[in-house]
């Protein structure tokens, strides 16, 4: 390491040490995860980069609590089975740090995370920051790789000035968090988009939220088709559509809901319709072929990303499934529009 690099490293550690950070990790039956996710955080505590690591045991029936205690974390029990949002809220009340760093139990942070977070809070009006999953998920089955890589892809290409928040690996000023009322666990009684909704409220209160591309973490979760589809539709797409349409401010032009993504969803819809029409003998084979080429062109960047990360077979499979993702996301949005504007129902305002 040369003198310039050494000085930069020292400056980074000094900046990180200047922040008073409480890590909050909710856990429910996550023993297999916290043996990997807690040690890097506890090492940061030992180095003086963070103030404390609080694990909130949310009614686990495995050895999560005992393992967290043995590793050296502060362990508290939630007042009932609250879900991650409620567990985070309770820990925030007792946390000693000026900043609350939320880390999921199945997330392993990178060693430079605190330095990156510190740089993110360079301005007093920045009330929250968050990062992304890295591009090397340890679970190698298709749906785990697809889901984690898509998350990485969208977060790495998004605007620095975020219109949302992410609690998988995100930090917020404790005062702003408490003033906002924390995560809305009345509206979101199950793990859902409570972090996105919190971000909306923080911004509405005059704060800024930044996405930090260099704050990356490894996601240990193993996704299968069933839990992925259920989560994506009922815990993400429908609640997020209700939040967007209920706010009346339009769809944010960022992340996976931006204008270009809406166009790609429309192309996926026409492609699916052309396949159905072809199978019913209503059109010739030219229509689905032309639309397939349009799908490939419109998705060429993410297709190239899939190819670089997993080769040709994975890229083809991931691109095809990505069209399915567009279809169920667009269908969820259309259903919520029908629900609110035709049926006059607004379930997102009272529960999700």
Q: What is the pLDDT of residues 272-314, one digit of tens each?
A: 999 999 999 999 999 999 999 999 999 999 999 999 999 999 9
Statement: the pTM of the whole predicted model exceeds 0.85: yes
Q: Where are the alpha helices (DSSP H) in the chain?
A: 3-18, 31-46, 64-71, 83-94, 113-120, 142-157, 174-180, 194-204, 225-230, 238-247, 259-279, 286-298, 300-341
Which helix (H) or strand (E) segment is 137 a member of? none
Domains and CATH numbers, the chain: 3-223 (3.90.550.10), 255-349 (no CATH)
Q: What is the pLDDT of residues 232-278, one digit of tens each?
A: 999 999 999 999 888 765 676 667 778 899 999 999 999 999 999 99
Token output for 134 = 């890295």
> Are the C-beta atoms of residues 209 and 164 closer than 8 Å to each other?
yes
Q: What is the pLDDT of residues 191-227, one digit of tens each?
A: 999 999 999 999 999 999 999 999 999 999 999 999 9
Supply the pLDDT for residue 53: 99
């Amino acid at each position: 390491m040369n003198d310039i690099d050494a000085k930069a490293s020292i400056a980074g550690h000094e900046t990180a040490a200047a922040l008073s950070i409480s890590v909050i990790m909710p856990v429910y039956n996550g023993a297999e995860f916290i043996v990997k996710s807690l040690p890097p955080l506890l090492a940061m505590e030992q180095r003086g980069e963070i103030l404390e690591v609080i694990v909130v045991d949310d009614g686990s029936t495995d050895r999560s609590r005992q393992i967290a205690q043995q590793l050296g974390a502060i362990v508290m029990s939630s007042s009932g089975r609250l879900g991650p949002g409620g567990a985070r809220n309770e820990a925030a009340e007792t946390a000693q740090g000026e900043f609350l760093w939320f880390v999921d139990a199945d997330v392993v942070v990178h060693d430079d995370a605190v330095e990156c977070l510190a740089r993110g809070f360079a301005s007093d009006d920045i009330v929250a920051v968050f990062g992304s999953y890295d591009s090397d998920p340890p679970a190698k089955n298709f749906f785990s790789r697809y889901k984690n890589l898509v998350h990485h892809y969208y977060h790495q290409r998004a605007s620095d000035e975020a219109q949302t928040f992410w609690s998988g690996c995100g930090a917020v000023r404790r005062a702003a968090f408490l003033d906002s009322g924390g995560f809305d666990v009345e509206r979101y009684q199950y793990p859902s988009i409570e972090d996105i909704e919190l971000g909306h409220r923080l911004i509405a209160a005059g704060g800024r939220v930044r996405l930090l591309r260099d704050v990356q973490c490894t996601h240990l979760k193993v996704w299968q088709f069933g839990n992925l589809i259920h989560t994506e539709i009922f815990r993400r797409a429908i609640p997020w559509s209700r939040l967007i349409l209920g706010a009346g401010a339009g769809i944010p032009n960022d992340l996976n809901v931006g204008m270009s993504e809406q166009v790609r969803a429309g192309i996926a819809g026409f492609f699916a319709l052309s396949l159905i029409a072809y199978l019913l003998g209503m059109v010739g084979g030219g229509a689905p072929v032309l639309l397939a080429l349009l799908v490939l062109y419109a998705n060429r960047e993410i297709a190239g990303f899939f190819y670089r990360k997993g080769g040709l077979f994975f890229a083809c499979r991931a691109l095809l499934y990505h069209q399915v993702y567009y279809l169920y996301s667009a269908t969820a949005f259309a259903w919520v529009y029908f629900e609110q504007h035709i049926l006059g129902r607004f379930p997102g305002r009272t529960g999700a």
